[in-house]
Structure 1
Amino acid sequence: MKEAAAHAAAMRESSMAGPSPRLEMLVVACEALTTPGEAGAALFERAPSLPDPERWPFDIARVRLFYGERLRRLRAMAEAREQLTQALEAFQRLGAKPWVTRAAVELRAGGRSAPAAARPRAVALTAQELQIATLAATGLANKQIAERMLLSHRTIGTHLYQIYPKPGITSRAALRDALSGLDLHAEED
């Protein structure tokens, strides 16, 4: 946490947020994430109130999600549910499935059931697919995964191509979030 706070302070000191309301909002959100107590809550409140927040719905939804997570952990359930519901609705409008799942999980943990469309569903992967997906989610290239698993890099590519539709993603970039937000289980080979 100390290191993250130092990074947030460095962003503020660099004046990087000066020319852009979006960057200002992101800097304030980073400061909110690294500031405990009332001061952190005040920063979370400030971030979405900066000029033109509707221009960055995904960023605002993430700020609301992080704020809702913090409020839930502080047992401010009504306030948490309000932030989490707004985040969930924004993620649904944007089609950000892994983020919809994360917000739905938080909302349920806060005592409110999420709409059925937002609930994580069980995704069946073979043991080999699960291993490949996990390695790919860590950032390894197909060639590196192939070397570890004693397969060809083309076989890894084929497996990934078959894995993506199962959790409803279309790219490697979404794999990590999809794996963390879904109820995964291995099929029998």
Structure 2
Amino acid sequence: MAELSPRLELLVLTCEALTTPGKAAVGLFERALSLPGPERWPFDVARVRLFYGERLRRLRATTEGREQLAQALEAFQRLGAKPWVARTAAELRAGGQSAPTAVRPGAVTLTAQELQIAKLAATGLTNKQIAERLFLSHRTIGTHLYQIYPKPGITSRAALRDALSQLDTDEDD
């Protein structure tokens, strides 16, 4: 099978690595990831990195495992593979690293009300001023902002304007 195509070789080496016990699997994962042209199969390569990262973590090579898992997470996010993002993030957490909450900007979705609140907050209005304009409680505004911040991966009102402008440019593309 491996001789039929580079992609099949990647998959065969990965299967061999998954069924090989202990540290012997590391060489097989490395061979699989060193094959030419991996950018043609980003999902397959991301899965290989996830499996490799899992194996490295179990072998207590946590730093190397985190590197593979972080690359896998980035690829899965870019591809919009949500179940794989969740699995990879869980594996990163198991390895002692908090998985980044930021997703790529194009994947950020805000409700109409969240977007309206975010735009007003980005202009510098206080929660109370926003609440008066929208006929809501200032606490409701605070709650919405608390829920908005993690979506584009920000932690403050100051970063909101930049995140919204990035969102606008991604939607224009």
Q: Report the Cα distance in structure 2 between the residues aligned to 1:17 and 1:74, rounded to whole angstroms.
A: 27
Could you say which residue in structure 1 is the equivalent of 2:74? 89
Q: State the partner residue of 1:45.
A: 30
Q: Which residue of 1 aligns with 2:154?
A: none
Matched, 1:113 2:98: yes
Within the alignment, does 1:57 sit opposite 2:65 as a pair? no
| Pair 1:24 & 2:9 matched | yes
Between Structure 1 and Structure 2, the one with more strand by share is: 1
Q: Distance in 1 between matches of 2:101 and 2:37?
A: 31
Q: Distance in 1 between matches of 2:38 and 2:90?
A: 25
What is the CA–CA distance in structure 2 between the aligned matches of 1:116 and 1:85, rounded to whole Å? 12
Query: What is the rounded CA distance, in whole Å, between the counterparts of 1:107 and 1:95 in structure 2?
Result: 18
Structure 1 moving runs of 4+ over 2 Å: none
Task: Show the 5 A alignment for 1:133-144.
Answer: none
Equivalent-residue separation in structure 2 for 1:49 and 1:60 (angstroms)? 10
Instruction: Output one character per residue of 1:12-41: Cα deviation in whole Å (capped at 9) or x when no partner.
Output: xxxx22120000000000000011223211
Alpha-carbon distance in structure 1 between the residues aligned to 2:36 and 2:62: 28
Which stretches in structure 1 are left out of the alignment for 5+ residues?
1-15, 119-189
1:66 aligns with 2:70: no
- In 2, the alpha carbon distance for the partners of 1:115 and 1:41 equals 26
Question: Match for 1:59: what amino acid?
Answer: D
Query: What is the aligned-residue identity percentage?
Result: 79
TM-score (norm 2): 0.58
Cα contact 2:23–2:59 (8 A) shared by 1: no
* Structure 2 portions without partners, runs of 5+: 104-173
Deviation at 1:78, TM superposition (A): 0.3
TM-score (normalizing by structure 1): 0.53
Question: What's the offset of the Cα at 1:75?
Answer: 1.2
- Aligned equivalents of 1:77 and 1:26: distance in 2? 24
Bigger Rg over Cα: 2
Q: Kindly tell me the number of residue pairs found equivalent between the two proteins.
A: 103
Structure 2 residue aligned with 1:104: 89
Q: Distance in 2 between matches of 1:89 and 1:38?
A: 26
Q: How far does residue 117 in structure 1 lie from its aligned partner after superposition?
A: 4.3
